[in-house]
Structure 1
């Protein structure tokens, strides 16, 4: 929507044209003036320009061809005329002005990675010279104008990642020179026009993640120049057309649709294929032998279909294959021997509803050297555990639960596989010999990354794992899931297990273990399930930690146990009174009294010393932060040039610079306060006072400050922080982040890590002594990321120290004091005039979680008065999370635009996202008293990461 201010510019523009025409008599000059006016109209519809990218536009001292993002021609009739308009990843908000159609010689219109709304102007069709339109990752709505079909010189049309609706115009089939057509990640409906088959020069075509229906047009087989065809995540039906003429095709992605029938044998003719993804359809029949002709194929993904028969021997011909995913089909028979000669294979998975059988080949010291994941759960494989895996030094996950494996567990799994993180051998027929003495478990001390160890239910046909738990197992300090239940273990739990600080689940039930329950289990903060039932334990049950929660602790059928919390309903422990306990009690009381006296003296001294320091405080920032001058900061930032501008906020701008600190040149971020902005001075004071008192790995670090005057004698205030090179979270969530020419997005595990980082910072602030600190402005743009993508909470310009009994009203009348956050993130009670509280920060954090995992801002135009981001997510939980989750989290590669993995209900990623969104909902309740405490949210998120961290990677 055009702001009222833009109408006030019309007289200015008219006068500009008049003055320009009078001053410039030639026709060429007039045309240049037309371009000038068109760009100013474009600028008038941009209501938000946080990086001040368009500040040079309209400046009479700067020629039009030097405006940012503007490129002009240099020869002939194009000389001085605008030929390119490129404004990428600048967070521009507003609409695309139809005045762009007056840039007669425009060849490239590139506006990706912004927040542009409204419709795609149909007037663009008048630009006969236009060759490239790139508008992806904006918030554009409405239909794709059918008029674009008349742009016969157009080579690139990319409008992916918007909110476009309606059907695909059939007129696009007239774009005879089109080479790239990307309309992925929108809300398009209808069918794929058969006219697309007329685009004989088309090389890349993506319509993924829409709501398209109908069949895959046979006419697509005419696109002989096509290299990429991505149609995944739609509602397409019917069979897969032969497509045998697409000899240059490298990527074919038709996954997550409703396709039926068999795989056409003609796909074996597409010998340029590198990626073939047909996952999550209803395909039937056998896997054709002809796929073995795809001799440079790297990824074959066919999970969640209804394929039958055996895995074809020809798969062994795919010498460059890295990924083979055949999960959840109805395959049977043994694995083809040639499969084990695929030297580049990294992922092999046949889990789920398959019926594969047979044994594994012997170790020849050469098989699968690059293998990282070997997942064969829920099949009928038999024979010994394959020892050739010990030569796969890259192996991270070996999961073979519920098969018919026999023999012992080879110790080489521990001694050779240093990267092993998951070992699952539950429900097999594995045994251990007495001589082996669980040597393989002792060898696991070498597996420093081991997180999941499941050896449960290995008693089939009388076989069982027995012997004592080796003390060396304690060296597996990364282990999170330990399940050795339903075996014949004996002896006590070794005390070395205390080193395993990361344990989340311990299940040693149904064994012959004895002795006392080690006290160290009560100190493991992350432990959520503890089961030692049906053993021979005795003695006192601890009452702290996991043992305080009877629903998480299972200790039945251990007749010698006593005590514990009342909910366990155990008999009390008997005590034997002697003189010695009384003596110990007297000693303990004496020592305790002495310590208490010393502590009191220290507290008195500390209070006196702090009061003395406070009385001599001369600044809002600690004196160990050496002040810098205005001249030093001006020099460090090249006079605060726009080239060093990295962000703007409510009270100022942030510049990148380099200053000397302790004889070292350090790259810094300089936040310069706009003191003409009402409340900026108070913001400066608040930020200084807050950052003076806090130190935490997830908070931005202040290096120094400047409170001086500039060259004109005007007051100048600035804060200098450590520079965090990966920018803010807003940039990563809603804009393409370009690295090495590729656009990157945050994957699911990294978003979990960032969520935990922010929660850790908030917990620290809210527990701050002597007074809690309330941030008041938690949002993505205030979350900064360092080299390792560790999150740091910044911008404490609105922060408050929370006084529960404060009656001070002196600052409540100021505009700054009334600021309580940003629209969409600020708690609803703040709008009613309520005072700030830590629960207001919790609300903002809840909205942040919802935004991070749905990809939608709380101010999204989709949410009107009747709907909010909170309600939008709440209505979808839990059955429709697939529909609202950020689709970038369900992709297979690092840039969010790769081949979509399965999005079936029950997928580990969907379960993980659902759990996080439920926390976001609990934190963002309208009623403050119903909100989850930040410390509880942090614990739940840590548990989610520990539970799903392995299964959602990759």
Structure 2
């Protein structure tokens, strides 16, 4: 009996020793986990079966010390659904659990509290509900806790988290539905570097103790219901780099001595709160500041006069305060800001600025994209020196006459002074702006007098809007010289006389609006010679006679309004007239037409009564044979004379174009500059045309010319789409267009081309897929170069989607459409199939419903487009994610290795966490980073690179999810891309310090 008891005791001891030493198997726990996710359609769990060792299952990494225990479970972006079963708590040797970017729902089971060895817990972007379990505080070794973007996750932040997680570096709980107060115990997290609680429903005060976390770098508390004052202790955080507390109910003022606080701050956001007082002048001592957001508060007084010390400042938002300046004081900051060489957006709208806009405004940075001064009390005309800026958007309340000195603004290609209080006549000097090529908008002012005949000098102008003024007189015939004009808005004026016959020269015109004028006479048949006319508005005038039947031959015309005139006769029934509504013809004396118009029938002539009279008239009209010969001869002579005159006129015009600066470029200038578009100057070919290197201005200006192959179906639409998109955009990361050419070639063929700035380093595709077999640092990209390029691309897309009005969807993001400048900064190009999202107003140059169709490029097209979905921002985000993965892995989405169900997204998702170095582009290792020499410790180098790759690949995966709703929002992705790049660059410095300490 004693022997039996001894054997039993030994057996139990062996079991306990087995469990304690980790030789038990985790396979049952994994199979139970799979069973809990049995509703998942994920292919990631297909390998989870007993035919192979569980250590080889997808996403599973076993411990080296205890080979039968799971050390990491990485299944991000794996299409997992269902709820997380309690069996996950049996993986007690787990050090990393990453189930981010799936479709998990239900609550986090309390059993996860048993994972005491856990270092990383990442459950971002799921549909988890319930509350955050308090027993997560048992993870005493945890360094990263990331449970973000789970909108149904509510409840309070467990105070226990702040008491027992001494090694926690990142606590990221943003974009949930958390309530209650921020626990004061979080101040105990002495290792915390990143705290993100934004976009929740938190309330109450910000704990002052957060300012005692010495290593805190990123603090995001924006978009909650926080109140009270911003603790002074936060201003004393010398490590803080980003502070965002916008969109709360905070009050108080900025400390007057802030200039000696926050020495490393880059982003400082207090916007949409209730802060008061003045903006301290000492704020200009925060030398590292790049983004300053103080909008929608109650700041008063003057803008600090020495903001120009912020040499890295890019975004300055002071909109919606009570800031002031007048003719005597307060505008000094404009002179100072001329030192901010990187300033991109400067918004002072909705304040109390008054007086005239001072002259120093012209000294602002040439990188400035937006200057917004609307809804102030600024008066007077635009200072002459504003022409030194290269801005797209300029908003201001102006009054008085337009100064003739505007004609000196030689760089201006868009002039928009709409919706102001300008009066007087339009100076002819405006029409002598040779650079003015995209749009002239003077609408809705109080301008009067005639339209100067010099308007015909704008031969490259694409659109003009003079509507809503008091212009009078006749529309000058010279307007017919604007042959590339696509939209002409002259409605709501007092123009008189008839429609100029010369309008038929505007072959590219798509919209003509002459509504609500005093025009009279007949509608000329020559309008039918405008081949691309789509919309024709002639309502509320004094036109008489019939509607020209020739208009029904315009196959592109889809909207016609001739209401409220004095027209009479029969309405045609073909072409656009098939779809007219009664509103389009009401207020005339018209008859018949399609039945839907409900017009009276036209009278029928009495043929017998009029027959004799008709014969008499015919007899009188018949001339003698001799007279016919004389008449025919005269006509021939006149036609020959006109032909010679026209040829001579064309030769003179061509000569003038060649002699002028290249903004007025001709076919011949482009042909000559590219050696007749020779193969030697060919830079690349695309779907709708070819790009050539071209030299203009006596070999001093190197440009790139995109020549459209008009024989290719859709190329004309592509030209129009690209013109329309590029007319609207202005950003440092978008390819800059110089002008366009719509002309006739030497054989009389139609010729269309766009002229862009020349990018000496070609396309991104040539750098990540070099053609040369001899790979060196000179023909490949380093990791830091790729990060900088990625940041540029993200910024460009963010501008197109979120800051451009109306928003633009690119539709064809891929490496061959990314151009690299001399310093390898990136610019997005090729807007040939871009889409402009529709606005509430109907006044657009083109309909966004282009007939080009959704095509894009194979491998980059969002999956939903293949199912007929409409264009959305999420489609571009998908392409952006694939592009990012390609940049850092060096693998094209059309690579031969991607067959069956495997694609680039799944390839990266399966390996990026535990094998990022293995899937990274090997050419990265050809480069020695700028600070490599300072970091001799190879393990530190590897750690820095590995952390960076994991972050950027994770971002690419989040952007390229299969379902649009699962993709990361672009604004958030832009923030993460910047943070990843900045963290990488800072890590070299930290790595150098660590190595020095170790040494």
TM-score, with length taken from structure 1:
0.55
**Number of the residue aligned with 2:377:** 380
Matches within 5 A, 1:668-817: 748=801, 778=868
Query: 2 CA distance for matches of 1:456 and 1:788?
Result: 40
Residues 892 and 44 of structure 1: is their aligned pair in 2 closer, same or farther, counting only changes over 3 Å? closer
Cα distance in 2, alignment partners of residues 513 and 567 from structure 1: 17
How far apart, CA to CA, are the structure 1 residues paired with 2:442 and 2:422?
14
Name the CA distance, whole Å, in 2 between partners of 1:341 and 1:764. 46
CA-to-aligned-CA distance 1:17-47 (integer Å, 9 cap, x gap): xxxx9x9999379945531122222222224
CA distance in 1, matches of 2:285, 2:24: 60
User: Counterpart of 2:336 in 1: which secondary structure?
Assistant: helix
Q: For the structure 1 residues 206 and 790, does the alpha-carbon distance in structure 2 shift closer, same or farther, using more than 3 Å as the test?
A: closer
Query: 1:113, CA displacement in angstroms?
Result: 1.6
Contact 2:174/2:199 (<8 A) preserved? yes
Contact between 1:488 and 1:511, CA under 8 Å: does it hold in 2?
A: yes
1:389-428 paired onto structure 2 within 5 Å? 389-392=386-389, 394-402=390-398, 407-408=403-404, 410-413=406-409, 415-417=410-412, 423-424=416-417, 426-428=419-421
Q: CA deviation at 1:468?
A: 3.3
Deviation at 1:857, TM superposition (A): 8.0
Q: CA deviation at 1:94?
A: 2.2
| Alignment counterpart, residue 515 of structure 1, candidates 498, 504, 509 | 498
CA contact (8 A) 2:467 2:493 kept: no
Structure 2 CA distance for partners of 1:422 and 1:385, relative to 1, 3 Å: closer
Match of residue 814 from structure 2: none
2 CA distance for matches of 1:284 and 1:887? Answer: 35
Aligned-pair distance for 1:312?
Answer: 1.3
Deviations 1:522-575 (A, max 9, x none): 999975x945434545432899999xx9x995744x445666689823212599
Match of 1:467 in 2: 452
Task: Indicate which of 556, 567, 575 corresponds to 1:572.
Answer: 567
Match of 1:170 in 2: 159
Q: Deviations over 1:626-681 (max 9, x none)?
A: xxxxxxxxxxxxxxxxxxxxxxxxxxxxxxxxxxxxxxxxxxxxxxxxxxxxxxxx
CA distance in 1, matches of 2:38, 2:808: 30
Q: For the structure 1 residues 217 and 762, does the alpha-carbon distance in structure 2 shift closer, same or farther, using more than 3 Å as the test? A: farther
Change in CA separation of 1:567 and 1:780 when aligned onto 2, cut-off 3 Å: closer
Contact 1:178 1:202 in 2 (8 A): yes
- DSSP-derived class of the 1:219 partner: helix
For 1:464 and 1:277, locate their aligned partners in 2 and report how far apart those are by CA, in whole Å: 48
Which entry has the higher C-alpha Rg, 1 or 2?
A: 2
- In structure 2, list runs of 5 or more residues that go unmatched: 1-11, 548-559, 571-613, 623-712, 716-764, 766-786, 812-833, 838-847, 855-863, 883-957, 981-999
Q: How does 1:357-376 map to 2 (within 5 A)?
A: 357-361=355-359, 367-376=364-373
Q: 1:293 aligns with which of 273, 285, 292?
A: 285
Deviation at 1:158, TM superposition (A): 0.9
**Closer/same/farther in 2, CA of residues 266 and 37 from structure 1, 3 Å limit:** farther
Aligned ranges 1:601-640 → 2 under 5 Å: none
Residue aligning to 2:89: 101
Q: Distance in 2 between matches of 1:303 and 1:379?
A: 15
State yes or no: 1:204 paired with 2:285: no
Matched with 1:248 is 239
1:72 to 62, 70, 81: 62
Is the Cα contact below 8 Å between 2:485 and 2:506 reproduced in 1? Answer: no
| C-alpha displacement of 1:322 | 0.9
* Structure 1 SS opposite 2:82: strand
Q: What is the distance in 1 between the residues matched to 2:167 and 2:87?
A: 25
Between the aligned partners of 1:553 and 1:381, the Cα distance in structure 2 is 35
Higher RCO structure (Cα 8 Å, ≥6 apart): 1
Aligned residues: 617
Deviation per residue, 1:69-115 (Å, 9 max, x gap): 222232xx444532111112222222223222222221111122211
Q: Find the residue that maps to 2:338 and give its secondary structure.
A: helix
How many angstroms apart in 2 are the aligned matches of 1:256 and 1:562? 62
Higher deviation after alignment, 276-285 or 202-211: 276-285
Q: Is the 8 A contact 2:25 2:69 kept in 1?
A: no
Between the aligned partners of 2:364 and 2:808, the Cα distance in structure 1 is 36
Offset of residue 180 of structure 1: 0.7
Query: Equivalents in 2 of 1:287, 1:200: separation in Å?
Result: 32
CA distance in 2, matches of 1:59, 1:562: 88
1:258–1:327 CA distance, 2 compared to 1 (3 A):
same
Query: 2:422 and 2:870 mapped to 1: Cα distance?
Result: 51
Q: 1:25 to 1:131 in 2, by over 3 A?
A: closer
| 1:397 CA drift (Å) | 2.0
SS of residue in 2 equivalent to 1:341: coil
Q: TM-score, normalised by structure 2?
A: 0.53
Q: 1:787 to 1:132 in 2, by over 3 A?
A: closer
Counterparts of 2:21 and 2:794, CA distance in 1: 43
Distance 2:184 2:33 in 1: 36
Correspondent of 1:495 among 480, 486, 495:
480
Give the 3 Å change call, closer, same or farther, for CA 50–525 of structure 1 in structure 2. Answer: farther
Structure 1 partner of 2:46: 55
Instruction: Tell me by how many angstroms 1:219 deviates.
Output: 2.4
Q: Distance in 1 between matches of 2:866 and 2:877?
A: 23
1: distance between equivalents of 2:70 and 2:322? 60
Equivalent residue number for residue 188 of structure 1: 178
**Would you say the 8 A contact 2:443–2:465 is kept in 1?**
no
Cα distance, 1:573–1:69 mapped onto 2, change above 3 Å: same
**Counterpart of 2:345?**
347
Distance in 1 between residues matched to 2:15 and 2:505, nearest whole Å: 85
CA distance in 2, matches of 1:375, 1:166: 41
**Correspondence list, 1:521-600, <5 A:** 527=511, 530=513, 532-536=515-519, 538-540=521-523, 553=537, 555-556=539-540, 558-559=541-542, 568-572=563-567
Distance 2:253 2:213 in 1: 22
Equivalent residue for 1:259? 250
CA distance in 2, matches of 1:405, 1:217: 56
2:110 is aligned to: 122
- Aligned Cα root-mean-square deviation (Å): 5.3
Range with bigger deviation, 122-131 or 23-32: 23-32
Tell me how far apart the structure 2 counterparts of residues 111 and 374 of structure 1 sit (CA, whole Å): 44
Task: Determine the C-alpha separation between the residues in 1 that align with 2:528 and 2:975.
Answer: 43
Aligned to 1:220: 210
CA distances 1:365-418 after superposition (whole Å, capped 9, x unpaired): x641221212222333455534444333x52222334466862352354x424x
2:148 matched to 1:160?
yes
Q: State whether residues 384 and 406 of structure 1, in contact with CA within 8 Å, keep that contact through their aligned partners in structure 2.
A: yes
- Distance in 2 (CA, whole Å) between partners of 1:741 and 1:763 is 28
Q: Distance in 1 between matches of 2:870 and 2:476?
A: 50
Tell me, in whole angstroms, the C-alpha distance in 2 between the residues paired with 1:239 and 1:489: 62
Q: Distance in 2 between matches of 1:191 and 1:399?
A: 41
Give the direction of change, closer, same or farther, for the CA distance of 1:84–1:211 in structure 2 (3 Å limit).
same
- 2:78 aligns with 90
Q: Verify the 8 A CA contact 2:33 2:87 in the aligned structure 1.
A: yes
Does the Cα contact within 8 Å between 2:257 and 2:280 map onto a contact in 1? no
Please give the secondary structure, in 2, of the residue aligned with 1:316.
helix
Q: Please, which runs of 5 or more residues in structure 1 have no aligned partner? A: 1-20, 584-694, 698-722, 724-737, 766-773, 792-851, 861-885, 900-954
Retained in 2: the 8 A contact 1:343–1:368? Answer: yes
CA distance in 1, matches of 2:315, 2:372: 12
Give the drift of 1:183.
0.9
Q: Secondary structure at the match of 1:133?
A: strand
Post-superposition shift, 1:143?
0.8
Question: Structure 1 stretch 292-301 or stretch 778-787: which is displaced more?
Answer: 778-787
CA deviation after TM superposition for structure 1 residue 227, in Å:
1.0
Of 933, 948, 969, which residue of structure 2 is paired with 1:888? 969
Please give the alpha-carbon distance, in whole angstroms, between the structure 2 residues aligned to 1:887 and 1:404: 48
Output the CA distance in 2 between the equivalents of 1:465 and 1:194. 71
Q: Distance in 2 between matches of 1:112 and 1:306?
A: 41
Alpha-carbon distance change, 172 to 429 in structure 1, aligned in 2, over 3 angstroms: same
